[in-house]
Homo-oligomer: A and B are copies of this chain.
Amino acid sequence: MFSLEPQELIKQFPLFDQELASFISEEAETKTFNQGDVLMRPGQFFKYAMLVVRGRVKLFREGDEGEEFFMYYLEPGNACALSMLCMARSQSSSIMAVAVEETEVVMIPIQHMDNLMKNYPSWYHFVIETYRTRFEEVLNVIDQIAFKNMDQRLEWYLKRQADVLGPNLNLTHQQIANDINSSREVVSRLLKKLENNGTVVVERNNIHWKG
């Protein structure tokens, strides 16, 4: 654990002002997670608000039978909205957050929240903005699964992946199927259709998005 320079923080979080960055730099610690590490799991207490400064975190919902459903990525400059909903929780099935690469996270102990909210307006602007963004994101997910068919959902999924990871997606059909809660065969077939459209180029372990 080590802390981060205020200037570095502001670069990642442009909404922060000088005093806020200094405070966080002073009081928060930085932790590095390895690929595959779980940052957050269902039914967990939070002792920190988590800000991603490097790497990438994948958020997904887990079903009762262990199914997974991809929600969104947290990237540098993002905060984990749920980690800021500090109060206790212990629901049957909640959300999972896993580092998909080596990831550096600023951890702000929960006991500073009152102070931050009260004395650092740029903090609560950031919090509000974080919620808004995530809420929108989640609503878009609902649109997709409520209103769209698999082919459109797959396309939307790939597009989002490409927006974050770049056009070269190192994904197997099985992994995609897991993320959108479908099956490998269905994904294979739909990918073929997208390839015929010219939307993607399909290779082993790799989908090239041309959207």
Q: How far is the CB of A135 from chain B (nearest CB, A)?
A: 7
- Contact code string A2-14 (vs B, CB < 8 Å = 1, else 0): 0000000000000
What does the 1/0 interface line of A47-71 toward B look like (CB < 8 Å)?
A: 0000000000000010111010101
What's the Cα separation between A171 and B82 when bound, in Å? Answer: 35
Chain A contact surface mostly: helix
Asked if A138 lies at the interface with its beta carbon under 8 angstroms from chain B, I say yes
A128 neighbours in B (Cβ, 8 Å): 84-87
Neighbour of A82 across the interface among B91, B135, B181, CB < 8 A:
B135
Asked if A63 and B146 make an inter-chain contact with CB atoms under 8 angstroms apart, the answer reads yes
CB neighbors of B among A127-146 (8 A): 128-129, 131-132, 134-136, 138-139, 141-143, 145-146
| Chain B min CB distance to A83 (Å) | 11
A163 at the interface (CB under 8 A from B): no
A142 is contacted by which of B117, B134, B136, B145 (Cβ under 8 Å)?
A: B145
Known: A128-B85, A129-B87, A135-B135. A146 touches B143 (CB 8 A): no
Q: Could you mark each residue 73-84 of chain A with 1 if its beta carbon is under 8 Å from any beta carbon of chain B, else 0?
A: 000000001101
Chain B residues positioned under 8 Å from A138 (CB to CB): 135, 138-139, 142
Cβ contacts under 8 Å, A124 to chain B: 117, 124
Does chain B have a CB within 8 A of A118? Answer: yes
B132 in contact with A181 (CB, 8 Å): no
Q: Known: A63-B147, A67-B147, A181-B147. Contact between A139 and B87, CB under 8 A?
A: no
Give complex CA distance A138, B145 in Å: 13
| Contact residues in B for A119 (Cβ distance below 8 Å) | 118
Besides A118-B119, A142-B142, A147-B181, 16 more A-B contacts (Cβ < 8 Å) are A61-B139, A61-B142, A61-B143, A61-B146, A67-B146, A69-B142, A69-B146, A71-B142, A81-B131, A85-B128, A86-B128, A94-B136, A117-B118, A124-B124, A131-B131, A145-B145
